[in-house]
Every structure is written in structure tokens, then in C-alpha cells.
Homo-oligomer: A and B are copies of this chain.
């Protein structure tokens, strides 16, 4: 084990540094991990570029990264289900209090939750990282570290589709074909959706969506009105979709989502937009189209691992770029430019495989 712990630290807006930090010591219920693969998320880039997301402000240096997997190198005294050598995927949100949200199974809503790389909590873009053992999940041999790291974005897709009630034979509209739109597509298909329309402004992103199984990629022009787009979606599917999963956060796309959805259906809001949004709420209300938010996820890692192990979901094609940890800044720059889909940082000097 090294003596130093190379880490990707955001000091303040625009000030991203590679630094050596001490290797942490795990507490009784924690494990120390040697990090292997960590994906870069839009939020990491957003903190770098803006120093904040909404009310979360970077006030002191913070390690970035929350889409992660690694190998256990040390276990705390009370840990029984993991041992050194185990390969694990990391669930980045760990509730700190047994409040009503945690007790009722919705710990993602706990206001005091620890979450990697959400200020002031450090993330895991580093060589060594300690985490609550209860939120590290052992990977079977046939699931790679990168697949393990991709469970984090996939979990957003799973939670979105679960909240949407995607079921056998559902028809689904996904708005936006960024990384999050794509994992929603994958999750919807795995849950039995029969047909998925996916929209984007970019034809490249739509090609990727098509490769990943989208039935109808739909290129959006800036001049299309929300109601026109809704009609196009109905035309493609032969009927309005049961479910719409909004993954852009853009107001006009939220409007499309509402108009497009079938009476009695569901719009799930994954994309995060402006504080106030103007929407055809009356249209949704009189057709009993429910509007449900998604805040991260809960209770998804075990099922995601099952799906990956049984090869029912294929997330590997999402990784389009890889960089060694030392080149973190280039990696961040690549994501910032919107090149490819998912950029992976390889944190283990001796093993840069997927």
C-alpha cells in the first residue's frame, strides 16, 4: 500500500487540483478501499465550473467523484460481510440519522445524508477512500469494476423507471439522450418497456441511443413547439406513451413531457432545471398525469448487481473515454466538452482494465 493518496480536489470555482492527501483510517463500521474506476458526472463538472449547485456551495476544498468501485484493503472492527480483497461498488449516499425517511425506506430523502462530492462531503476520486461498509456491495467475478462504477448512474435510471411504474409492455418517452437519458432507456427496456422514443437536439447522442436499444430516436429542433413534439411522439408509437422520463431539465422539454403522456400516465422529472418552471399543469391535472420527482435513488445496488451479473443490462458501451487518475484535468475537460458519453478515471496504477 502506498504512503500517499493522490486525490482530485476542487478548491473553488474553476480551481481543480491533483493533491496528495493522507490515507484515511476506517472506523469500526467502515472499510478502506483502493479505488479502481470512478466515472465523471455532470455534477462534478458543474461544481468545477460554477462552484455550486443550487444551495450546495463549495466553501472548502472537496474531493470530487461519486461513481465508483474499488477493492477492500482494510476493514473496520465491526465489519463482517466484507474482507480485504473483495471487489465492491460504492453507493455514495449514506444516511447519517435514523429519521423517518430512513426508517421508511426512502433514505435518499434524509436531509442530513452524507453524499460523496456534495459539499461539504468528500468524494472518491482518489487512490484510497474509506466508506460505510453497509453501503459497499460486493461485485461478483463476472461484473467488472467499470460496470460497478456505472451502477451509480444506472441507479438513477432504475429509480426513475421504478417511480414511473414502468411495467411489462409500457411505452416510454425519454427526453434527452445524455448519460442520464441513456441509463433511463436501459432501465426501461430491462423492466419490460415495449417501445421507447428518445429525444435530443444532438443526432450523435441519438445514434448512441439507437445502438443502446431505443426504438425511435427523435431529433428535436429548437423551433418545435411542445405540443407538436407531443404529437410526433404519439405518431411514432401509435398512441401516447404510458410514461415519460424527463432528463434534460429544460422547460420546453418538461412541457412536451406533460402534453405527450397518456391520461393516467406518469411524468418523472429527473432533469434539474430552473427554480421556477412554467408548465401546462391543468392539462396534466385533468388527465391525471402524475408528475413525480427523482432525487438520486435508494435500494438499487443489489438489484443492479443482479442485472449486471445475469447480463440483462449492458452498460459497458456507455464508457467512451478512459484516463489515468493523473490526467484527471484532461478527463474533466473531455466531459465538459460533451464528448462521448461517460469518461472513466482509472485510479489504480497497476490495473487500468475495465
Contact = CB atoms under 8 A, between A and B. Distances in A.
B298 A103 contact: yes
Interface string A259-293: 00001100001001111111111111111111111
Interface residues of A, number: 68
B295 A293 contact: no
A310 interface: yes
A162 B167 contact: yes
Contacts of A108: 288
Number of identical protomers: 4
A169 B279 contact: no
Interface in A29-43: none
Nearest to A94: B98
Contacts of A353: none
Contacts of A304: 169
Contacts of A98: 134
A169 B264 contact: no
A220 interface: no
A115 B57 CA distance: 43
Contacts of A106: 105, 264, 288
A187 B108 CA distance: 30
Interface string A155-180: 00010011100011111000000000
A154 to B, nearest CB: 10
A46 interface: no
A290 B163 CA distance: 10
A215 B307 CA distance: 13
Contacts of A187: 168
A281 B254 contact: yes
A91 to B, nearest CB: 10
A1 B273 CA distance: 57
Contacts of A170: 303
Interface stretch (A6-14, A188-196, A314-322, A328-336): A188-196
Contacts of A289: 293
Interface in A299-315: 299, 302-304, 306-307, 309-310, 312
A236 to B, nearest CB: 13
Interface of A: 54, 97-98, 100-101, 103-109, 111, 134, 158, 161-163, 167-171, 187, 190-192, 194-195, 215, 254, 263-264, 269, 272-295, 298-299, 302-304, 306-307, 309-310, 312
